[in-house]
A and B are shown apart, each in its own frame.
Chain A
């Protein structure tokens, strides 16, 4: 599996779209601080609005990265030389997680540095910010697992489009749930859905542990379902 992971990471470094995404993370961090400063609304929790936008294009680029293995038929090169299907899936999953995770870490690093320079350490407890960052990180890992699952399941260029299509109703749900009131099932759904978790990070997260557990469950679920499905799938 290490060989496949090495190849995936090498290809990610060679692809302009993945590299642009990583660079965009730093640019978005600076833009968020700059715009918030100009609006007079700069605080430490403003940064947590951006990962939602990042997820939109990252899941598309990440999905396309995997689906290229099918559209260019290079997945055959891996299977024909005897790589196990579970290893192929997991190598893709880890590469996606690294791509999503590194982009998020760069975003948080640049954003935190900019916030420190502009507003200093005032206005937020470091523990609250770190807790939100942790929740956000696990939510992003869950989104990367969903992206890998979709791309490896549809086995076509649609693997880059489907994650975006799915993101919209999830985001809609997160936004609309504010209007639905305090229904119990809406609360549970908001706790489970990673994008809903991320919309709640504009303030210190009071249910961080639950959110992290749900993200982990979703991650394990998508990886397990993806591997089981891929092991039995007929490819072209």
Chain B
């Protein structure tokens, strides 16, 4: 698999506080990578490092195979765009003028493509209205348009839906999917609004305490979260034999617990287990979403 971004034991220490503690993650090419973690988990710190805003204390990362210590990393960053926390825009300029400035910063030969960008983010009809008079959603979309100026193939969005109204959230979601599917842009999104993330992400990285606790594809997550009956038995060996015999899909959780997918005939299962001298201690329906999975992964304690 090709990776756009790979980090290797990335560490960032601020005096007595370790914001990143040996973080290792891999963002596959073409993915929408949902970067999930609590406030203060280290999401923004990682993004700042990738963007060159901050430097790692230890460890390294590779952007398109170019190491952060390589002098060519600056050149490689031209292939990426980013909106870090708040959109970086000039409030006293119109949307078009903001994009013109970014085109100038990038040294683009002309302003062709600005109309297309404004159209893409839905800001074509804002005329001479200054960015300071925009709604939060419009400012976010302008920030994304600025990040898209150099036609990047890697886009980093830090909390892009924070503070947006429901309509703004839908528009942002559609824009992200469009950029990924139609423009083949790999997108790294950090967010703690998990329901929304679950609607767009193809891969996930769960971060806690400055470390990646789990990396998985949306498919793997779906498998882990799919509806099942969780049974606790006295003999999981017997349970496995019975389930294999019934041709039912299942997953062993521990020595006495297993998840049985689909809807098993409980009476038939209980009868077959009784024949194997295995007792069912408990059975409950189990249905986990991304939120539940995240909480079970990192624990439900304080986020301070």
Contacts and interface: CB of A to CB of B under 8 A. Distances in A.
Chains A and B form a bound pair = yes
Interface of A: 2-4, 6-7, 10-11, 14-15, 72-84, 232, 234-236
Contacts of A7: 101, 104-105
Interface of B: 48, 51-55, 73-78, 80-82, 84-93, 101-102, 104-107, 146-147, 149-150
A81 B88 contact: no
Tell me whether chain A's interface is mostly helix, strand or loop, or mixed: helix
A236 B53 contact: yes
Contacts of A232: 55
A235 B149 CA distance: 22
A103 B150 CA distance: 35
Contact of A80 (B81, B90, B93): B81
A73 B84 contact: yes
Given A80-B81, A82-B74, A73 B88 contact: yes
25 contacts: A3-B105, A3-B107, A6-B104, A7-B101, A10-B104, A72-B91, A73-B85, A73-B86, A74-B88, A75-B88, A77-B105, A78-B105, A79-B51, A80-B77, A80-B80, A80-B82, A80-B84, A81-B105, A81-B150, A82-B73, A82-B75, A82-B76, A232-B55, A234-B53, A235-B54
A6 B74 CA distance: 20
Contacts of A76: 51, 53, 82, 84, 88
A40 B79 CA distance: 66
A232 B101 CA distance: 26
Given A72-B88, A74-B89, 11 more contacts: A4-B105, A10-B101, A72-B91, A74-B88, A76-B53, A79-B51, A80-B84, A81-B149, A82-B52, A235-B53, A236-B48
